[in-house]
Copies of this chain bind each other. A is one copy, B any other.
Amino acid sequence: MKLASRTETRKETVIDLDGVKVGGDKPAIMAGPCAVESREQLMETARAVRAAGATILRGGAYKPRTSPYSFQGLGEEGLKLMAEAREETGLKIVTEMMGLEQMEPVMKYTDIIQIGARNMQNYPLLSAIGELDKPVMLKRGMSATIREWLLAAEYIMNAGNHQVILCERGIRTFSEKTRNTLDLSSIPLVKELSHLPVIADPSHGTGMKKLVAPMSKAAIACGADGLIVEVHPNPEEALSDGSQSLRPEEFQELMQELSLIDSSLGGSGEKILPSAI
C-alpha cells in the first residue's frame, strides 16, 4: 500500500461535492431506499431524508441480486429518477455501478459511484474507475481483510482517482441472527492506516431494522466519517431489503440522536441536523 497509506499522505482526504463533504469534521449521512422502485417512493424518501439532515441520497438502479430471478433494478430509468430527486432536493446522489457497460449512464447521473461488496476485488472495474474523475465509495468485500480492502482502494488510486470513500458493510461470520457482522473495529483501524474517509452501513451490516439505530450511533462514536442508511416509506412492501429499512420518522429520530452523540464527541461543534430543525 502506497497511495492509500497514512504514511504516504498524512492529511485526511475530504471528498467535496460542491460543499457536501465526506470526511473531515462532520459526519456525512447518506440515506435512501435499497432500490429505486418508483418516482413516488423515491421522492417521498428523498424529501424525508433531506428534512432529517441527510446530504446524500442513496438508491440502487442496478442491483446485484443473488438470484437471477429477483428484481434487478430499474436501470437507467432509476438513475433518471435519482437525478430528478437531486434536482428537487439538492441532495447529492450515490448509486452502484456493477460493470463497465453501466459506466456511461452511471457517469451521466451520479455524484458518487458505489462499488459493491461483491465487486471489491473486480480489478478491471477498479482500474477503469480509477481513470474517472468522480468520487468512488468502495464497500468492503464480504470476507475481505483490512489489507485487501485498502489494496482495492489502491487499485483505484494507482489508476489516478484519489477520491475514494471506504464503506464498512459487515463481514460474513457464523452469526445466524444478523445478516452480516458489522465490524466496527475496522473504522478506527482504517483511520489509523489510511487517510481515506470511512463510513458504515448499519443496514446491510446487520440486516435487522432494530439494530440500525444502535449501530449507527456506535459507528459515529468510534469515529466513522458518515453512514449510509436504508430508508423506505413502506418497508414491508420494499422490493428488496425491506426488513432492514427504517421508516422516514424512525430515520428522523435517529438523526436527532446522532446529532447529540456527534456534539458530545466535540470534533467540530457542527451539527449533523439541518439548520431548519
| A123 sits at the interface (CB 8 A) | yes
Indicate how many identical chains form the complex: 4
Q: Is the CB of B145 within 8 A of A177?
A: yes
Q: Is the CB of A189 within 8 A of B177?
A: yes
| A124 sits at the interface (CB 8 A) | yes
Q: In residues 140-171 of chain A, which contact B (Cβ within 8 Å)?
A: 141-143, 145-148, 151, 154-155, 158, 171
Q: Is the CB of A123 within 8 A of B181?
A: no
Question: Can you list 29 A-B pairs, Cβ within 8 angstroms, ordered by A?
Answer: A2-B69, A64-B121, A66-B151, A67-B151, A68-B154, A68-B155, A69-B158, A98-B124, A99-B125, A122-B122, A141-B142, A142-B142, A143-B174, A145-B177, A146-B177, A173-B173, A174-B174, A175-B183, A178-B185, A184-B184, A184-B215, A184-B218, A185-B211, A185-B214, A187-B214, A214-B222, A221-B222, A261-B261, A261-B265
Residue among A148, A177, A185, A217 facing the most chain B CB atoms (10 A cut-off): A185
Q: Is the CB of A124 within 8 A of B99?
A: yes
Q: Is the CB of B181 within 8 A of A181?
A: yes
Proximity string of chain A (232-266) to chain B, C-beta cutoff 8 Å, 1 when within and 0 when not: 00000000000000000000000001001101111
Give Cα A144 to B155, complex, Å.
24
| A196 sits at the interface (CB 8 A) | no
Contact of A151 among B68, B177, B184, B266 (CB under 8 A): B68
Q: Is the CB of B221 within 8 A of A261?
A: yes
Q: Is the CB of A182 within 8 A of B185?
A: yes
Min distance, Cβ A257 to any Cβ of chain B, angstroms: 8
Q: Is the CB of B98 within 8 A of A99?
A: no
| A118 sits at the interface (CB 8 A) | yes
Give Cα A81 to B188, complex, Å.
36
